[in-house]
Amino acid sequence: MHLNCRNAISLVKQEGLLVRFIGNKDSLVDTIYNVLQHKEIEGKSFFDFFSGTTNVARFFKKMNYQIYSSDLLYFSYCLQKAYLINNADPSFESLLPKLKIKTSTLFNNPFENIIDYLNSLVGIKGFIYKNYTPEGTKLLEIPRMYFTSENGAKIDAIRQIIEEWYQSNNINENEYYILLTSLIEAVPFYSNISGVYGAFFKHWDRRALKPLQLKPINIIEGTQENQAFNTDSTKLINNIDVDILYLDPPYNNRQYAPNYHVLETIAKYDNPIIKGITGMRDYKNQKSNFCNKSKALEELDLIASKAKYKHLILSYNNEGIMTESNILDILNKYGKTELVEFDYLRFKSHNIESLKTKKYIKEQLYILSCSN
């Protein structure tokens, strides 16, 4: 089956981290859902096994599925907690009475008031300032230019106060992850990078020069008890039984953790030992087997054979390290598998210049329905 994917070319949807996360399915999730509907694939539970930005799980949460989600990245886990586990607008009822809120903001809702408060904080020279801004790293041979010094210090001030509020029980767990997510989603808009944190520009990109401002995230209301994990998802296959198991693994040998190391450190704020020109944290425990061809095939076989599901849906593309015939050989062992393909317009970077280097690839959806 072959489809044309019109959604795929909505390049400039400016929502938080979404447009800049490699392989995110923001612009494809509608199409994926429509294909499943068309094939009468539905159910009550959905496991987003490689959740990343949580886009796909969010969509299915809105469709009233009970959601399971997991990712190796801690910042993805923060998003999972805020968007999938949390089901209601935060009230900040313990914190608000303790803050002196300016009268001009009294008409805001509680979440907007807290975001305004965070946006007004004075910067602190903490870990981010000291390691990822030019002033903080001026003694290095190549000073790091991930953030302006002002924005680096602002990130530290915001991150530190969120932690302080949580440790002193002034905010609850849901409120904690909601605020962390608001910060994590804002940061890429002020980062002096082309999309990932594997390198920084040696000149200032215009967007990095703007003063950092957080925005309230869009809360998804719900009634289900969902579950989120920050682990190698294959460790969960014996414990979970779902209607739809959705797999969206890395497609090539580029590991995710080094490409998002600064976001990971902002989320964890754990003063890691860092190395090299980019100030990279260690990521040996966050390596994915899907970034290695033979291990990826073994891993796919393991998941398809051991996990309990009615339908296994794999997103992949025709340039991935596992070939179409390898994938079909594996999945066909466990049930009838169908392949649906979409033309997808890929951009090499977020820059509008890259329109000149546009290239179509085929996004693939492998659909395995269990025979038993």
Ligand X SMILES: C[S@@+](CC[C@H](N)C(=O)[O-])C[C@H]1O[C@@H](n2cnc3c(N)ncnc32)[C@H](O)[C@@H]1O
Q: How far is the CB of 23 from ligand X (least distance, A)?
A: 3
CA dist 236 and 239 (Å) reads 6
Beta pairing, strands 308-317 & 359-370 = antiparallel
Is residue 24 a contact residue for ligand X (CB under 6 A)? yes
Closer of 175 and 248 to ligand X (Cβ): 248
- Residue span binding ligand X (CB under 6 A) among the ranges 67-75, 109-117, 301-309, 344-352: 67-75
| Binds ligand X (CB under 6 A): choice among 45, 55, 181, 192 | 55
H or E stretch covering 368:
strand 359-370
Closer of 55 and 181 to ligand X (Cβ): 55
- Number of residues counted as binding ligand X (CB under 6 A): 23
| Binds ligand X (CB under 6 A): choice among 8, 35, 56, 78 | 56
| Binds ligand X (CB under 6 A): choice among 5, 16, 19, 25 | 25
Q: How far is the CB of 109 from ligand X (least distance, A)?
A: 28
Q: How far is the CB of 95 from ligand X (least distance, A)?
A: 30
| Binds ligand X (CB under 6 A): choice among 256, 309, 334, 344 | 256
| Residue from 361, 325, 358, 359 nearest 341 by CA | 361
Beta pairing, strands 274-275 & 280-281 = antiparallel
Q: How far is the CB of 225 from ligand X (least distance, A)?
A: 21
CA dist 143 and 134 (Å) reads 5
Is residue 50 a contact residue for ligand X (CB under 6 A)? yes
Closer of 123 and 258 to ligand X (Cβ): 258
Torsion 186-189-194-197 (CA) sign:
negative
The tokens of 106 are what? 């009294």
Query: Using an 8 Å Cβ cutoff, are 113 and 96 in contact?
Result: yes
Is residue 21 a contact residue for ligand X (CB under 6 A)? yes
| Binds ligand X (CB under 6 A): choice among 8, 36, 73, 114 | 73
Query: Using an 8 Å Cβ cutoff, are 39 and 69 in contact?
Result: no
Is residue 259 a contact residue for ligand X (CB under 6 A)? no
Is residue 312 a contact residue for ligand X (CB under 6 A)? no
Name 267's Cβ contacts closer than 8 Å, sequence gap at least 6. 74, 75, 78, 180, 184
Phi and psi for 116 in degrees, rounded to 5? -60, -40
Residues that bind ligand X (CB under 6 A): 21, 23-25, 50, 52-53, 55-56, 70-73, 76, 232-234, 248-250, 256, 288, 290
